[in-house]
Structure 1
Amino acid sequence: MLKSLRFGSNDVAKSRAFYDATFAALGVGPSTAPAEYPLILYTLPGGTRFLCGPARDGEVATHANGGTVIFEAPSQEAVTSWHAAGLANGGSDEGAPEPKPQARGAFGAYLRDPDGNKIAAYHGLGMD
């Protein structure tokens, strides 16, 4: 059971703008950590916490090669809004919103966040 997930960030303000916008498209409220905190925090549906902040060892935060975190979206429209919000807030495209053959036709999209972490949003994966 996953309780929390943490990404590294070299610019928490950029990450806050990106994740506030992309999570809003999925029905998740803005970060609950005050702006002066060195990290951002979200509570996802089901109770999993998502955090993003500087690497604990003081080194530059880097993204995982081959790693992708996938978020569940309530609709195809939410996936499309999520992708657009990410692009408008410093993210880069890694796969347009569309049915994905690698996911049995489930509707999904991929982004890189401002620090290069690869994320996706899908509707219809049937992971329940």
Structure 2
Amino acid sequence: MLLYVTVGSNDLTRAGAFYDAVMPTLGYRRQRQDETEIGYGAEGDRIRFWVVTPFNRAPATYGNGVSIALAAETRAAVDAFHAAALANGGTDEGAPGLRPFHANFYGAWVRDHDGNKIAAVCEQPE
């Protein structure tokens, strides 16, 4: 259903360092960068996650109630995502664990340096 997702940043260099450490835990890597955006995606797939400076040049802000969930192949990948985020300056918004949404919903939530709320979720039994 979704073609791509963007999150805003006020410091693209800092955001890039954060996402360069976090995204590989889920199988994504930086595939494109210029002075206004950085794109991440899986090898051989289109870029699906963008970190951008706002087009209108106003400061980037995060949305209250907005959370972007990225698919993780394993629960270990969710754990690695959470650990990498915290080790690179992210803040905890929900430690890795099972959630009541269904029997195999294993997720973790973090905020990046700009306050964007990002989750990694594995829905596979382990």
Mark yes or no: TM-score above 0.5.
yes
* Rounded Cα–Cα distance in structure 2 between residues aligned with 1:44 and 1:8: 21
Q: Deviations over 1:36-74 (max 9, x none)?
A: 532111124864521112111111100010010000101
Which structure features the higher share of strand residues? 2
Flag structure 2 segments of 5+ consecutive residues without an equivalent.
Answer: none
CA RMSD of superposed structures (Å): 2.0
- SS at 2:17 equivalent: helix
Percentage identity across paired residues of the two chains? 40
Moved over 3 A (4+): 44-48, 102-105
Cα separation, partners in 2 of 1:2 and 1:20, compared to 1, 3 Å: same
In structure 1, the residue matched to 2:83 is 84
Unaligned runs of 5+ in 1: none
Q: Which residue of 1 aligns with 2:39?
A: 41
Is the 2:86–2:92 contact (alpha carbons within 8 Å) kept by the matching residues of 1?
yes
Q: Tell me by how many angstroms 1:125 deviates.
A: 6.7
Scaled by the length of structure 1, the TM-score of the pair is 0.86
TM-score normalised according to structure 2 size: 0.88
Size of the alignment, in residue pairs?
124
